[in-house]
């Protein structure tokens, strides 16, 4: 029966382990992580600094490889893929938002959104222009498109970063402490915006934070401590 077929998850992590370094300097950054993230979910990943949040986000999005265990990203087993194949999948299906915005300083806000669309070969110039304008508008800053990142506030830069992360219509958006460099009110407004986009587009969002900002507001919260998953509100 069709009803019995469960939709595949956006991301599935099976027995993930990640260590850095060797011998005395070896760090076990992730230990025995099992996690299923459904399509359309808004997941908050909480944990203190150094607990393994960035490592986990990099592994689940195919930026980094685990030392052991399997990552399934949109029904693809990432372990089997080489760097070119991983980078192709990321360019099509993943949007990534960084704590320090990572905008290109010499390009305008518009060009920061536009050029990745052209360079990834996803869209022609006309489509890329339309999409860049649409997404800058949807985050409320189309009027600032000509400004360079240095002429924008932190909150405005982060809005450019989310327009860039969304413009190629990815199924999964990962944000690594996106409010870590914003003041409290601007950070709250930014999180509201992410949640609104999640509601409207059903894009899967995975957002990390070391503060308690998201704990009371995200639909699902998981917590990581010393590389181990210690809490999952869905369980």
Binding site for ligand ADP (CB under 6 A): 20-21, 27, 29, 47, 49-55
Q: Is 61 in the site for Mg ion (CB under 5 A)?
A: no
Tell me if 179 contacts Mg ion by CB under 5 A: no
Check residue 54 for interaction with Mg ion (CB under 5 A).
yes
Look at residue 3 and give the partner it binds from Mg ion, ligand ADP, none, a contact being a CB closer than 5 to 8 Å depending on partner kind: none
DSSP-assigned beta bridge partners for residue 205: 42, 173
* 57 vs 197, beta carbon nearer ligand ADP: 57
Strand ranges in the chain using DSSP code E only, listed in sequence order: 11-20, 27-37, 42-46, 68-73, 76-77, 94-97, 172-176, 204-209, 220-225, 228-232
* Shortest CB 31 distance to ligand ADP, Å: 11
Shortest distance, CB of residue 177 to Mg ion, whole angstroms? 6
> CA of 157: how far to CAs of 8, 111, 134, 148, 232, in Å?
34, 13, 16, 9, 31
Q: Least distance in Å: CB of 53 to Mg ion?
A: 5
Mark the segment that binds Mg ion (CB under 5 A) among 48-56, 115-123, 138-146, 179-187: 48-56
**Beta-bridge partners for 181:** none
Nearer to ligand ADP, 55 or 157 (CB): 55
Q: Are 208 and 183 in contact (CB under 8 A)?
A: no
- Token pair 């990962």 is found at 174
What is the Cα–Cα distance from 157 to 136, expressed in whole angstroms?
A: 11
Query: Which parts of this chain interact with Mg ion (CB under 5 A)?
Result: 53-54
């Amino acid at each position: 029966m069709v009803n019995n077929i469960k939709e595949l998850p956006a991301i599935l992590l099976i027995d993930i382990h990640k260590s850095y370094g060797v011998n005395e300097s070896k760090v076990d950054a992730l230990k025995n992580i099992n996690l299923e993230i459904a399509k359309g979910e808004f997941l908050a990943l909480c944990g203190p600094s150094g607990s393994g949040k960035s490592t986990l986000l990099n592994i689940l999005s195919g930026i980094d490889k685990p030392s052991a265990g399997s990552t399934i990203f949109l029904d693809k087993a990432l372990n089997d893929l080489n760097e070119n194949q991983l980078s192709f999948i990321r360019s099509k299906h993943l949007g990534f938002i960084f704590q320090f915005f990572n905008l290109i300083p010499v390009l305008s806000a518009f060009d920061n959104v536009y050029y990745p669309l052209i360079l990834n070969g996803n869209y022609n110039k006309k489509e890329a222009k339309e999409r860049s304008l649409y997404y800058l508008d949807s985050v409320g800053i189309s009027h600032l498109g000509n400004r360079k990142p240095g002429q924008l506030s932190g909150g405005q830069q982060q809005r450019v970063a989310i327009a860039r992360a969304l413009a190629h219509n990815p199924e999964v958006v990962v944000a690594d402490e996106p409010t870590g460099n914003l003041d409290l009110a601007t950070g709250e407004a930014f999180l509201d915006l992410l949640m609104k986009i999640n509601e409207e587009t059903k894009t899967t969002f995975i957002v990390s934070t070391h503060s308690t900002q998201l704990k009371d507001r995200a639909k699902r919260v998981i917590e990581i401590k010393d590389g181990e998953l210690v809490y999952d509100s869905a369980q």
